[in-house]
Amino acid sequence: MAQEFPWASEITKTTGNITSLNQDLAFTDFILDVRDGLYLTVDGSTRRLIRRNFADIMAYQMQNDQGGSPVTAIPSLYTFTGTTVRFDITPKQTFPYTLWYYAMPSVLAASTIPPFPTDHAMIEFVFWRAMEWARKAPPGAAMKYLREVEIAAMRSAGLGQEPESDHVGLDPVQFHGRGRGSWGWQGWEVRA
């Protein structure tokens, strides 16, 4: 259930060092990174990286690989494929990082209460699994019920939206440069 609806899981952080263009971070409890939750320490200050899709990162990597002699700089974009973090450009040095991510819950004991937003979803999931086991429901009915009914209801109720930003900002990669002035709604302001 945590993999299907990771926003109900605990948010945790890990630290380490980034040294290469594509680096496996070897997580055991990683589900999903918090959007733009990767921070690098550059010359004593913290720099937040922007998460992009895999296709964009691969395009940047191809652009920055100049005939087998890669361009090196401070990465500004990243993506995850499994537990491998991929950057837009080869890091010019080793950078310490902090990554915030949704973590898989630990294995439950008899007295452990799982961190899930609704007990009903878990009870119904177990019920449907029992129906599958007794061959009174087709295989996969429990997961289908969870995806189509319970998780859909949680999303429509607004659960899972809290950790992410509630506004859509301009893409800082496409819309970079100096800010707009008071007449910015008319286009770029011309100053003498």
Domain assignment present for 113: no
Q: What is the predicted pLDDT for the residue at 87?
A: 93
Quick check: is 75 in a domain? yes
Q: Tokens in use for 29?
A: 């409890």
**8 or 164, which is more confident:** 8
Listed range (92-96, 116-120, 135-139) with the worst mean pLDDT: 116-120
Q: Beta partners for 81?
A: 84
Mean pLDDT of the chain: 80
Pair (23, 90) in one structural domain: yes
In terms of Cα–Cα distance, which of 145, 102, 107 is closest to 123? 145
* 87 lies in some domain: yes
The tens digit of pLDDT for each residue in 43-79 reads 989 999 999 999 999 988 888 876 677 888 999 999 9
> Which residue from 105, 99, 103, 117 is spatially nearest to 35, judged by alpha carbons?
99
Asked whether the whole model's pTM tops 0.75, one would answer no
**187 lies in a domain?**
no
147 Cβ contact partners less than 8 Å away, ≥ 6 residues apart: 4
- Long-range pairs of 61-68 with CB within 8 A, sequence gap ≥ 24: 61/21, 61/86, 61/87, 61/88, 61/89, 64/88, 64/89, 64/90
Does residue 97 share a domain with residue 38?
yes
d(CA 191, CA 169): 26
Number of domains forming the structure of the chain: 2
Question: Mean pLDDT, to the nearest integer, of 98-104?
Answer: 89
Angle among Cα 43, 46, 51 to the nearest 5 degrees reads 120
CA distance 151 to 160: 10
Q: Residue 130 sits in which domain range?
A: 119-156
pLDDT, one tens digit per residue, over 16-43 is 999 999 999 888 888 888 888 899 999 9
Is the domain of 18 the same as that of 78? yes
